[in-house]
Amino acid sequence: MSQFSGVELNHQLIAGTWRAGSSERSATDNNPFDDSVITDIQQASAADVDKAYEAARKAQPEWAALTPSKRSAIIYKAAELLEEKRAEIVELLIQESGSTRSKANLEVTLAANITREAASFPGRTHGRISPSNTQGKENRVYRVAKGVVGVISPWNFPLHLSIRSVAPALALGNAVVIKAASDTPITGGLIPSRIFEEAGVPAGVISNVTGSGSEIGDHFVTHAIPKLISFTGSTPVGRRVGELAINGGPMKNVSLELGGNAPFIVLADADVDKAAQDAAVGSFLHQGQICMAINRVIVDASIHDEFVEKFVAAAKHIPAGDPFEDKTMVGPIINDSQLDSVKQKIAQAKEEGARVALEGPIEGRLVHPHVFTDVTREMEIARDEIFGPLIGVLKADDETHAIELANDPEFGLSAAIYSTDIDHASQVALQIESGMVHINDLTVNDEPHVMFGGMKNSGLGRFNGDWAIEEFTDDRWIGVKRS
């Protein structure tokens, strides 16, 4: 496939024109499973970033001035195009990001759902009128578009995690410039840009730039034009983005969705069979390369051995291989750097005394499921975000100990609790320091109308629904004195 919807895969939409970047650097976009070349991309330069932002600044006021119904219709059309082009997009997600077919289809569904939800935002953007202590005056609070939004998206769910910011931002009257991850410039940058362009978003309102962080990364964040940087990625890089956004130039807002270390808590009264099966899926879906993936399984001591036996049995049956095959659930690690990180975590878990309960082979970038038991809270496998198909099981003395273990790390994005007592589990959930907690369900959950976001070092801000409306708009106080 050399094109998507009539656009060459090595092009970028910069200020209304599909073209190559103007940097002297080029990069090869490879399939992580077999290293086949998808395309070679001439990278964007800092000058290209300037042109994209300047075009966005000029085009944004007219876009924001469209009636809510007109903007809604365009955004809804984009959702329809995502569905119409599903097969083409799925193929590119498999090729570029190593997504399995089931995961790629899920990603298109998530992207289409958030775009449909965003299509309702123009009619849900409400201000308010407040009384004044000054005689003859009223206070009007308007909710208005921020202006231009810079979106930096990751490689694990490149389509969805670009569109999760792009669709709401556009729907609310902003212009957008996307910088997708270097591993996924097509599915994270080109496809979202082309979808919204085809849907009717005017020239200049959306652009995407593909370039190395060393050449355009800081400039993208510190640029004077964007009023908000929406970043999804690792906590260390997110910290850097936040610092640059505040200290690197004109101060701007940031929305940061960062790392996770999701605990999967199995209480003494849990349905062990269901918990074991769900833990296997939630640990190894998309090779564990999901911010919400289960990173730690915390099991009450009274059922620990029974759970481990059933969990390992379930993990043994997780199929790993070619992501183009329908049965495959675990595909390739995205790149060699990430593969080295996964290998290092496996080696360190062994060195620190974790017991290997399941050790699948490593074939190139294909890492089969690994399960460790006898894991303690001090071990790196229990404290760091893994982002690979390996998981540690911790034994909790009791419920209080399980809560302590769950709250140990610096992260607080998503969590799960398994129990047959729903009301009690809900009370336990309130004690977990996590932005999202799911009872008898996977840690991997995302619904377009319900808030998404974390606590502690898992980020700032919230996505989806009314929370997205707040993120991508500003309150403006207009005081009106009549006499």
**Known catalytic residues?**
257
- Number of helices (H), then strands (E), belonging to the chain: the values are 16, 26
The residues, any chain, with a CB within 8 Å of residue 207's CB and separated by 6 or more, are 12, 13, 14, 15, 16, 52, 55, 56, 176, 177, 178, 193
Cα 217 from Cα 96, distance rounded (Å): 21
The CA-atom distances, in angstroms, between 378 and each of 196, 382, 383, 394, 437 are: 47, 7, 7, 11, 23
CA dihedral (92, 447, 403, 386) in degrees, to 10, reads 10
- Asked whether 346 and 370 are in contact (CB, 8 A), the reply is yes
Residues 231 and 213: their CA atoms lie apart, in Å, by 13
330-to-53, 100, 106, 317, 472 alpha-carbon distances in Å: 39, 7, 15, 11, 35
The Cα 189–Cα 177 span in angstroms is 9
For the chain, what is the radius of gyration of the CA atoms? 23
